[in-house]
Amino acid sequence: MNQYIDHTLLDPTATLIQIHKLCEEAIAYKFASVCINPSYVLDAYKILEYSNVKVCTVIGFPLGATSTQAKVDETKQALKDGATEFDMVIHQGKLKAHEYKYVQHDISAVKEVVGNQILKVILETCNLTDDEIAKACQLAEAAGADFVKTSTGFGSHGATPEAIKVMKANISNRIQIKASGGIRDAKTAKQYIDLGVSRIGASAGIAIVEGTSSDSTY
């Protein structure tokens, strides 16, 4: 279970002390990565440099409505600072307006910067219809993304089995799925893994692997 988890702290009030603790926990529990805001990437990189834990950050977070150039610049800086995984938020308004060329280019521009590193595209499924989720998955794959991801953790709700099923039906075996938002215990995490999810984004990672409960919302 541990290697499925991106140990997450995206709270806007998070301090460097909390980021340091997150990283130490990720090392101790052998989580796949820590997922943090871009301003803390360099700090996390220095802590995790000699571990197997990856540094994951978020791009255009949490709304996805920044310009493509802003996302590209943010990605370049995070890459320079040591991030190796990038969770970018799709432009939901452009998707809903059927501006599919824009959406695909938005993703591909970030992937061009990321190169061989991992790009996960956050759909924010709570704001999308099933048809929009399906189209977003198709565009993300066409743009070269490595994962599609359910949620930011800041929407009205997070991952659902129904959304995962739609996502899985609209990607090839090349692209993977990350479930996030509201996953707080081992039973729920296992449910998503059984549905074919490769990563779990959660601030409740320790509670999940230890089988305890958590009040975390992400």
Q: Which of 6, 81, 87, 106 is catalytic?
A: 87
108 contacts 98 by C-beta, under 8 angstroms: no
Residue keyed to tokens 């991801």: 149
- Give the predicted TM-score (pTM) of the model: 0.95
Q: Which of 54, 71, 94, 149 is catalytic?
A: 149
Q: Residue 212 — pLDDT band, cuts 50, 70, 90? A: low
23 contacts 48 by C-beta, under 8 angstroms: yes
Q: Residue 217 — pLDDT band, cuts 50, 70, 90? A: very low
| Catalytic status, residue 30 | no
Q: Count other C-beta atoms under 10 Å from residue 89's C-beta.
A: 24
Residue-wise pLDDT for 13-25, tens only, equals: 999 999 999 999 9
Q: What is the mean pLDDT of residues 67-73?
A: 98
DSSP state of 202: E
Q: Which of 54, 94, 120, 178 is catalytic?
A: 178
- Distance from C-alpha of 86 to C-alpha of 95, rounded to nearest angstrom: 20
- Closest CA relative to residue 68, chosen from 45, 39, 101, 97: 101
Listing DSSP states for 72-110 in one string gives: HHHHHHHHHHT--EEEEEP-HHHHHTT-HHHHHHHHHHH
Would you identify the CATH topology of the domain 2-210? Answer: TIM Barrel (3.20.20)
| Catalytic status, residue 149 | yes
| Catalytic status, residue 215 | no
pLDDT for residue 215 = 53
Residue keyed to tokens 């996302």: 71
pLDDT exceeds cutoff 80 at 47: yes
Terminal-to-terminal C-alpha distance of the chain: 18
Q: What is the mean pLDDT of residues 165-190?
A: 97
pLDDT for residue 40 = 98
- Distance from C-alpha of 203 to C-alpha of 194, rounded to nearest angstrom: 20
* Ranges of each domain in the chain: 2-210
